[in-house]
Amino acid sequence: MEQFKTDNLVYLDVEFVALKYEEITGEAPSSRLTRTEGMKAGIGIPVLSAGVHTQETRSYQLSSLGMLKKIWGSLEKYPSFDKNMHSTINKPQIFWVQGHITVSIWGKPKDQDEKYTYYQMLDDKDNTDFSLLTKSEYTSSGYDSLFEVSPAIQNNINIPVSALVKILYYSTVGKSFVSSPFLIVEREN
């Protein structure tokens, strides 16, 4: 796979990239742990509150894009998905997949009000279906509003991409590999 271009970036899981950068380069960020207490509205006794949690804040000298460029060669070493070899997924695994993404809508047949919009990817080789669980904050500008447009416009979205995904499991109901993408980049063809 060739080096990606920033203009072709569709999705970048910055947390994954930061952790892989640290793992690959050994360069640890400056890190700070903070204890935060969140409370629901109403009367509460802070000492008895169950809303206390610890949060780690990491700070790097490099941007997530800079980190990605430095570790790109290592990311390319993940295997490509092959339906014949990986027809069953016993545990989550990371693969490269080439295909086309579109926006899909899933809803309960009896409940027209309960609908979910998500990225769907079809593998180029055999149309293997991947349902992509994404976070809006990791979606690149220009792609971040595709869920908000009319379904008539969504039906025509068919973007060729390469994606590094973690396949979580195979859904027999949806006939799809439910996956969490780490990186999605447009392909030229």
SS (H, E, C) 7-63: HHEEEECHHHHHHHHHHHHCCCCEEEEEEEECCCCCCCCHHHCCCEEEEEEEECCCC
Domain assignment present for 140: yes
Q: How do the pLDDT tens digits run along the chain, 189 residues long?
A: 556 678 889 999 999 999 999 999 998 766 555 666 655 555 555 555 556 666 666 666 778 888 899 999 999 999 999 877 766 778 899 999 999 988 776 666 566 666 666 778 888 888 888 989 988 888 887 776 666 666 666 566 778 999 999 999 988 877 889 999 999 999 876
| C-alpha to C-alpha distance for 121 and 127, rounded to whole angstroms | 9
* Domain endpoint, select from 47, 74, 101: 74
Structural domain containing residue 138? 93-186
Which is nearest to 118 in space by CA: 181, 187, 183? 181
Residue 134 domain-assigned? yes
